[in-house]
Amino acid sequence: MVAYVNTETLPSLPPPKGLQGPAAWMRQNLFSNWINGTITVVLVIGILAALIPFVNWAFIKADWVGTSRDDCTSGGACWVFVYVHFKLFMLGLYPEAETWRALLVGGILVLTLAGLMIKGVPLKKYIQIFALFFFPIVAYVLLSGGYFGLPHVETNFWGGLLLTLVIAIVGIVAAFPLGILLALGRRSSMPIVKAICVVFIEVWRGVPLITVLFMSSVMLPLFLPEGMEIDKLLRALVGITLFQAAYLAEVVRSGLQAIPKGQTEAANALGLTYWQGMYKVILPQALKIVIPGIVNSFIALFKDTSLVLIIGLFDLLATIQGAFSNPKWLGYAIEGYLFAALVYWIFCFGMSRYSQHVERSLKTTH
Amino acid sequence: MKKLLLSAAVLTAMVASSAVYAGTTLDAVKKNGAVKCGINTPFPGFANQDEKGNWSGLDIDVCRAVAAAVFGDATKVKFTSLTAKERFTALQSGEVDLLSRNSTGTLGRDTGMGLTFIGANYYDGQGFMVKNSLNVKSAKELDGASVCIQSGTTTELNLADYFRANNMKFEPITYEKLDEVTKAFDEGRCDVLTSDQSQLYSNRITLKDPASATVLPEVISKEPLGPFVRQGDDEWMKIVRWSYYAMVEAEDLGITSANIDEKAKGTDPNIKRFLGLEEGGDANLPLDKKWAYNIVKQVGNYAESFERSVGEGSPLKIKRGLNALWKDGGLQYSPPFR
Amino acid sequence: MTDPNLSATPQTLSTVPSKPSFWNDPQKRALVFQVLLVIGIGILLWFIFSNTLHNLEKRGIRTGFDFLSRPAGFGISQTLIPYTEASTFGRTFFVGLLNTLLVAGLGIIFATILGFAVGIARLSTNWLISRIALVFIETIRNIPPLLQILFWYRAILPLLPGPKDSMSLAELFYLHKRGLTIPAPLTEPAFVWTLWAVLGALVLAFLIARWAKYRRESTGQQFPVFWTVLVVIIGLPTLVFFLTGSPLNWDIPALRGFNFQGGLTVIPELTALLLALSIYTAAFIAEIVRSGIQSVYKGQTEAASALGLRPNRTLQLVVIPQAMRVIIPQLTSQYLNLTKNTSLGVAIGYPDLVNVFAGTTLNQTGQAVEIIFMTMLVYLVISLVISMFMNWYNKRMALVER
């Protein structure tokens, strides 16, 4: 009897052949039946037919460095165009001697963002306060100058990616407090406050940004008392901020709605006033939930900044268009647009990845 | 708390960027330390911008002349590039003190929009440019053509009138900015580009192959191009008007930026009076006595400005034509400086 | 300052709730706050209004809506209603509005078709298909729509040949730099009967569907609704068309002079705008469709197959109706976005409302306040109408839930 019983565990066998390895993976995912198989083959051929000429044009036969269009000799993409204008695309006409100021602002921005996004960085609260309140001031003083012996740089010399970032960041930072107030107002029990907030939010959300920009560039001066006037860039910023505040308000509202009523009641029971309750109990929870939503609306804003080219500001897209309209560089529209697309894509894709990451990490804590 | 911070921020921003002027445009300009001049988006000959962002050109020189008259320093100008759509609103709202953006003076603009037309610093007329390959010799052959135009201009209206008057049809292709119009023409989106003749010549040198297009002989409209100011401030209007006249008068008197100091030593009473070196009969403008001297010394006379911007000294090589002095058979004419 | 708690008298401890002081009564405080807010906003509005009036008067700018009846005097490249240079500024408003609605309508159709296709492809069991869909979505939605519009218009469409050597299909369809020229239908008066037949067929199809549903619910018998309806909708108008003697001719385009004469030309501005907006919106719709379908629990599919439903019937009867409830609200906001994005056509000279009316007309009249106000109002109304329609549809869908 004993002889039939194994005294030791048998080693586990490998899975049956044909369920593992690349061949099996391909059979399951690419050739599961004859229709799928045919589709796969057709697609592979199609992709290769499109990709090979593109890679050939964009990389293999391309020219990368040089000083003028005469350096583009090999018949592929002329990245010399981007190489020559790189500083223009990044900073616009920002004076050569002052370039370090723009770069410094960029450096501070990167460090601040890293501090905000990376987990486990100490003193997070102070970084947040710095980012929201002090960074805009520091950036403005550095970029615009006129203080501490820095030469003044007019805003019409700001351009390229610098201007795109300025508009996007000012738009989100300035719209943030207004958006929170509007969201609170929309959930208020006071009927008039609620009505005003609803009308404000729905009006701005109902019209296209370009009409808002037209309004701020053409009509804002008429609204102000005589003699008072605002810079062209600031006018665009006012329009974008109001527009963005309406969208942010809806994002924040969705966060407020997700907080159970018990939290408000508990805050009341503790004797906190409305603002104390909001500031200490409700908003910290609500805002944490909507971080992905805020990042998403920042992505939308970042893409929307390109519209300022229609009212004659020289953002990234406008500078690139200006450069390939120059008679010396005619005919490089595709290179220019591809470069612009790449820059926008890197920013937007990066941010959307970050927002997905936050969304996932929030999910696990619940 | 947040509300307070926000309103404080908005207020500071407004105050920081506003220059509240209590009275006249001149006071405001002096307070600002610069003439705020509305100009075209980059446009060869009239408003050139170099890689550093510095401006030059025929329209730019008007701004510089006014700055020279007011401050004695032709560099004290703040330029604002304006599209055709923005230009008049920008002037009306006070964003700019002076609009020198090759704009046509018309009855409607002079009377219905709160603006005053100063005078033509460039006499122009609307024409057509076509590709040579079409073999068109006259504008009368353009029936059925696609025409590229800049929107919001008098050009757009003249074009419609011209085709209607000649019983022809056309397809209008309109763009906001001049370089878009040129690009569309270059790429074959349209057969014809219509604009003021000066612009046609200037557009032509930005084509891929400038020799591939011809400007047709027909001129279908009068386009006196010149600066505008806001209505209702006569003092400022006169400063701008006489700054422009000073450039024309200097040419008339044979004064250039090069020979001005030499001429000042001469005895001609006209020249002495013009340069503010002789008492009596001179202007009652609230400016430095040597304002005209400053203009000619720093900007040059009309001929100098014309030649280096659009004439023989430039790639455009436009002839003086209508813009010659009155004594050479043209229309440029300054009232006497006395 | 004395502490109120210390000075509390026995009266305040009585069981009768004390009347709170005016400032501590939430209701009264809310009232005061709202009155102050209304006054504040009133002052702000009055400030803006009086400044505007003052500025307009001082600058001698005309006001009022008289300009709408003045002749416009400029041409427009694409007009859906009769328009000449002698028409009024008011008419330019409608020309622009119709052009906007045309792009919005076509864009919504194309974006929905493409978006659903990509969204379903994203869920394909074929790894390659789902990856391609993913790359498409992630590339397209992270690039600004304006850049995409300009890319098509400035970089791709100019690569087409000029009208003289345009690509042609059977000498009927021509593709060139200035658009796509196709034969245009020329109708005779009797064609109206065919249109009536289309209407009749639609009504008939609707009745058949109702009847089939009623029969299915009462007897459980299936009726091939789809094929019957297809035959009715196509067959009836075709029959009427031939019975009335084919009252339709085609205006064949031909190259004469500078351009194609006759036929119908789809201008490249429209093509570029439509391509860019449809593709851009489709990327978002695809994500919505994917998440909508994935939101239906797998148990539902399993239950359906346990009941013996075939996979495509499962999709049709079980998955899609439930997914739609998630999809529709988000789809609404995408349609709204697309409609608002049509205003970007101004960058490439497409004659939409913003370009024609808030552009050229504004320039020629100088009356910025009235014109911008009208333009914004139009978009607001469009937004409200679309969201009202979608809310209504949403409610209908939600009622299916038991």
Cβ contact, residue pair A304, C144, below 8 Å: yes
Please check whether residue B276 is in contact with residue B291, taking contact to mean a CB–CB distance below 8 angstroms: yes
B54 part of contact set with chain A, CB < 8 Å? no
Q: What is the DSSP string of B17-76?
A: H----SS-HHHHHHHHTSEEEEE-SSBTTTBEE-TTS-EESHHHHHHHHHHHHHHS-TT-
ipTM of the complex: 0.85
Interface test with B, best of C48, C85, C149, C266 (most B CBs within 10 A): C85
Domain endpoint, select from B190, B221, B252 = B221
Q: Which residue of A has its CA nearest to C374?
A: A211
* Separation CA B95–CA A312 (nearest Å): 15
B176 part of contact set with chain A, CB < 8 Å? yes
- Which strand ranges, in their side-by-side order, compose the sheet holding C167-169? C167-169, C173-176, C179-182, C264-266
Cβ contact, residue pair B230, C351, below 8 Å: no
Instruction: Residue A259: name the closest of A231, A295, A239, A284 by CA.
Output: A284
In this prediction, residue B9 carries a pLDDT of 45
Between the two ends of chain A, the Cα-to-Cα distance in Å is 56
Cβ count near C269 (within 10 Å): 28
pLDDT digits (tens, 9 = 90+) for A47-90: 898 888 888 888 888 888 888 777 878 778 888 888 888 888 88
Domain endpoint, select from B173, B201, B221 = B221
SS (H, E, C) C1-56: CCCCCCCCCHHHHCCCCCCCCHHHCHHHHHHHHHHHHHHHHHHHHHHHHHHHHHHH
A156 part of contact set with chain B, CB < 8 Å? yes
**Residue A251 pLDDT exceeds 80:** yes
Residue numbers of the domain that contains B135: 126-221
Question: Percent of chain B beyond pLDDT 70?
Answer: 91
Same domain, B158 and B211: yes
* Separation CA B163–CA C75 (nearest Å): 10
Q: Is residue B333 part of a domain?
A: no
Cβ contact, residue pair C142, A345, below 8 Å: yes
Domain residue extents for chain A = 29-61, 162-312
- Chain A residues close to B89, C-beta within 8 Å: 218, 221
Same domain, B99 and B56: yes
- From C126, C143, C383, residue closest to A40, measured CB to CB: C126
Cβ contact, residue pair A207, C144, below 8 Å: no
In this prediction, residue A188 carries a pLDDT of 84
B98 by DSSP, 3-state: which? strand
Domain endpoint, select from B195, B221, B247 = B221
Helix axes C320-341, C89-122, angle to 10 degrees: 140
Q: What is the CATH number of the domain that holds B186?
A: 3.40.190.10
Same domain, B107 and B139: no
- Chain C residues close to A220, C-beta within 8 Å: none
- From B17, B82, B208, residue closest to A330, measured CB to CB: B208
Q: Which residue of A has its CA nearest to C56?
A: A222
Please check whether residue B36 is in contact with residue B95, taking contact to mean a CB–CB distance below 8 angstroms: yes
Please check whether residue B290 is in contact with residue B91, taking contact to mean a CB–CB distance below 8 angstroms: no
List C261's β-bridge partners, or say none.
Answer: C254
Q: Which residue of A has its CA nearest to B87?
A: A218
SS (H, E, C) A65-114: CCCCHHHCCCCCCECHHHHHHHHHHHHCCCCHHHHHHHHHHHHHHHHHHH
**Residue B21 pLDDT exceeds 50:** no
**Residue A280 pLDDT exceeds 60:** yes
C385 part of contact set with chain A, CB < 8 Å? no
Whole-Å CA distances, C170 to C175, C180, C183, C256: 12, 14, 11, 18
DSSP code of residue B222: -
Same domain, B136 and B200: yes
In this prediction, residue C1 carries a pLDDT of 43
* Amino acid in the structure at residue B225: L
Q: Is residue B171 part of a domain?
A: yes
Same domain, B102 and B233: yes
Cβ contact, residue pair C75, B156, below 8 Å: yes
Q: What is the mean pLDDT of residues B215-219?
A: 86
Please check whether residue A297 is in contact with residue A241, taking contact to mean a CB–CB distance below 8 angstroms: no
- Chain A residues close to B13, C-beta within 8 Å: 230, 234
Residues of B engaging C, defined by a Cβ cutoff of 8 Å: 84-85, 88-89, 92-93, 111-114, 134, 142-146, 151-153, 156-157, 159-161, 164, 170-176, 180, 183-184, 187-191, 230-232
* Separation CA C83–CA C85 (nearest Å): 7
Instruction: Residue A156: name the closest of A218, A94, A212, A98 by CA.
Output: A94
Query: Range with the lowest mean pLDDT among A308-312, B50-54, B202-206?
Result: B50-54
Nearest CA-CA distance, residue C143 and chain B, Å: 22
What is chain C's pLDDT, residue by residue, as a tens digit (402 residues)?
A: 445 554 444 444 555 556 667 667 777 878 888 888 889 989 988 988 888 888 777 766 777 888 888 888 888 888 888 888 888 898 999 999 999 999 999 999 999 999 999 998 998 888 888 999 999 999 999 999 999 999 999 888 888 887 777 777 777 788 888 888 888 777 777 788 888 888 888 998 889 888 888 888 888 777 777 888 888 888 888 888 888 777 777 777 777 777 777 778 888 899 999 999 999 999 999 999 998 888 888 888 899 989 988 888 888 888 888 888 888 888 888 998 999 999 999 888 899 999 888 888 887 887 888 888 899 999 999 888 887 887 787 777 665 544
Q: Which residue of B has its CA nearest to A182?
A: B3
In this prediction, residue B325 carries a pLDDT of 92
Strands B213-215 and B126-131: antiparallel
Instruction: Give me the helices (H) in chain A, please.
Output: 21-29, 34-55, 80-91, 99-117, 124-129, 135-144, 160-186, 191-206, 209-214, 220-223, 232-258, 261-269, 274-277, 283-289, 291-304, 316-325, 333-365
C158 part of contact set with chain B, CB < 8 Å? yes
Burial class (CB in 10 A: 0-12, 13-18, 19+), A24: middle
In this prediction, residue A227 carries a pLDDT of 62
- Find all residues with CB under 8 Å of A221, minimum gap 6, and list them: A229, A230, A235, B89, B90, B92, B93, B94, B95, C55
Whole-model pTM? 0.83
In this prediction, residue A302 carries a pLDDT of 92
- From B2, B81, B90, residue closest to A177, measured CB to CB: B2
Please check whether residue B2 is in contact with residue B8, taking contact to mean a CB–CB distance below 8 angstroms: no
Q: What is the mean pLDDT of residues B303-328?
A: 87
Interface partners of chain B (CB pairs < 8 Å, 3 or more) are A, C
Nearest CA-CA distance, residue C276 and chain A, Å: 14
Q: Is residue B3 part of a domain?
A: no
Same domain, B191 and B244: no
- Chain A residues close to B18, C-beta within 8 Å: 227-230
Kindly list the structural domains of chain C, giving each domain's residue range(s) and its CATH number in brackets, ordered by start. Answer: 89-157+260-399 (1.10.3720.10), 185-251 (no CATH)
C44 part of contact set with chain A, CB < 8 Å? no
Please check whether residue B116 is in contact with residue B230, taking contact to mean a CB–CB distance below 8 angstroms: yes
Cβ contact, residue pair C362, B85, below 8 Å: yes
Q: Which CATH superfamily is domain A162-312 in?
A: MetI-like (1.10.3720.10)
Please check whether residue B113 is in contact with residue A245, taking contact to mean a CB–CB distance below 8 angstroms: no
Same domain, B230 and B117: yes
Please check whether residue C288 is in contact with residue C327, taking contact to mean a CB–CB distance below 8 angstroms: yes
> For residue A184, what are its two tokens?
């609170």
Interface test with B, best of A228, A235, A279, A324 (most B CBs within 10 A): A228
Question: Percent of chain B beyond pLDDT 90?
Answer: 25
Q: What's phi and psi for A68, nearest 5 deg?
A: -145, 180
- From C60, C75, C77, residue closest to B231, measured CB to CB: C60
- Of these ranges, A224-228, B264-268, C23-27, the one predicted with the greatest mean pLDDT is B264-268
Same domain, B236 and B273: yes
* Separation CA A254–CA A252 (nearest Å): 5
Q: What is the mean pLDDT of residues A222-249?
A: 84
- Find all residues with CB under 8 Å of C290, minimum gap 6, and list them: C119, C122, C123
Instruction: Report the mean per-residue pLDDT for chain B.
Output: 84
Nearest CA-CA distance, residue A341 and chain C, Å: 6
Map tokens 């990509």 to a residue.
C118
Nearest CA-CA distance, residue B176 and chain A, Å: 9
CA trace torsion A111, A117, A120, A124 (10° rounding): 70
Same domain, B95 and B176: no
Nearest CA-CA distance, residue B233 and chain A, Å: 14
pLDDT digits (tens, 9 = 90+) for A184-221: 998 888 888 889 998 899 899 889 999 998 888 877 87
Interface test with A, best of C36, C58, C128 (most A CBs within 10 A): C128
Q: What is the mean pLDDT of residues B153-170?
A: 86
Alpha carbon A77 to chain centroid distance? 28
Whole-Å CA distances, B233 to B97, B115, C64: 11, 10, 26
Cβ contact, residue pair C34, A192, below 8 Å: yes
Nearest CA-CA distance, residue A93 and chain B, Å: 6
Q: Which residue of B has its CA nearest to C352?
A: B174
- Of these ranges, A150-164, A333-347, C162-176, the one predicted with the greatest mean pLDDT is A333-347
- From B134, B183, B189, residue closest to C177, measured CB to CB: B189
Map tokens 């708390």 to a residue.
B1
